[in-house]
Structure 1
């Protein structure tokens, strides 16, 4: 049971994904690579047979070298967008992501050890939530400044509208 939960559906793809909210000293840890002009949350696809909590713990370890515990679920994000990697270029992707606040150890020093699906080295970067750089998910800009105890649901849809 080591297969990513990525499923072809008609001409598109369905992804189930997790993201980690790793905050320290007022900054959030994000990931980038030399192919993309944006940053994204630490995390990745859920593997078949995993729960979303198991997946985020695994992904955090794979990307930072540190085994962290989940604090709580913060957000569920449904997202329609068009792929930009070699394997999904231009394909419509429907992705459901679960974003978890993580319990960050006081001595946390991440070391990036991961690659993108098309073999680009990933780099970790601490940013201020208000940093003008483009990063995803965009709702982090407002929601992480004023966290709530419950779970919030967001929908993003980049499909062209027929009005």
Structure 2
């Protein structure tokens, strides 16, 4: 089974794609650690990425946090499941309908946590880590973080974002 672990969980589905991904909720005081890239610096999103075939979601989020921050971190608990329909905006999936299922985990953040990596490269683009205040007017994704992360709850919440009716032209 381990020989397949290098393949991302992106599956062609007709003319579209199915993505299965994880996101890390890394909070320190009233800030969350987010990622931006050199191609779209105004687009901030959670630390995380696609699950690789053969991984559990918890293994995937631990791997992604380590790859992006350089720090080994443990999972605290699952916080959110997000179903998201949107149209691809990069060369490999431009205009394709994507159905993405994301699992967002609260991480056990060490008291003295500081990412070892502030930048890293992926898909030929440089990526940057940013601490964002929960009250910031900066737009970040998923959008429900702005309200949900202010109210600490133990229940897992489910969200659906449906961008199928948004014109891509």
Q: Deviations over 1:99-143 (max 9, x none)?
A: 000000111111235323x31011000001121111100000000
Cα drift, residue 38 of structure 1 = 1.1
Paired residue for 2:34, among 30, 34, 37?
30
**Is 2:32–2:131's contact at 8 Å kept on the other side of the alignment?**
yes
SS class of match (1:20)? strand
Unaligned runs of 5+ in 1: none
CA distance in 2, matches of 1:83, 1:114: 22
Paired residue for 1:155, among 154, 160, 167?
160
CA distance in 2, matches of 1:16, 1:147: 25
**Is 2:21–2:103's contact at 8 Å kept on the other side of the alignment?**
yes
Q: Deviations over 1:12-38 (max 9, x none)?
A: 110000000000021000000111121
Matching of residue 115 in structure 1 with residue 99 in structure 2: no
Please tell me the root mean square deviation across aligned C-alpha atoms, in Å. Answer: 1.1
CA distance in 2, matches of 1:54, 1:113: 22
1:16 match: 20
Q: Which runs of 4+ in 1 moved over 2 A?
A: 112-116
SS class of match (1:63)? helix
CA distance in 1, matches of 2:135, 2:96: 30
CA distance in 2, matches of 1:86, 1:52: 27
Aligned residues: 160
Cα drift, residue 45 of structure 1 = 0.2
CA distance in 2, matches of 1:102, 1:85: 29
CA distance in 2, matches of 1:115, 1:93: 23
Paired residue for 2:47, among 42, 45, 50?
42
**Is 2:119–2:129's contact at 8 Å kept on the other side of the alignment?**
no
TM-score, normalised by the number of residues in structure 2: 0.91
Unaligned runs of 5+ in 2: none
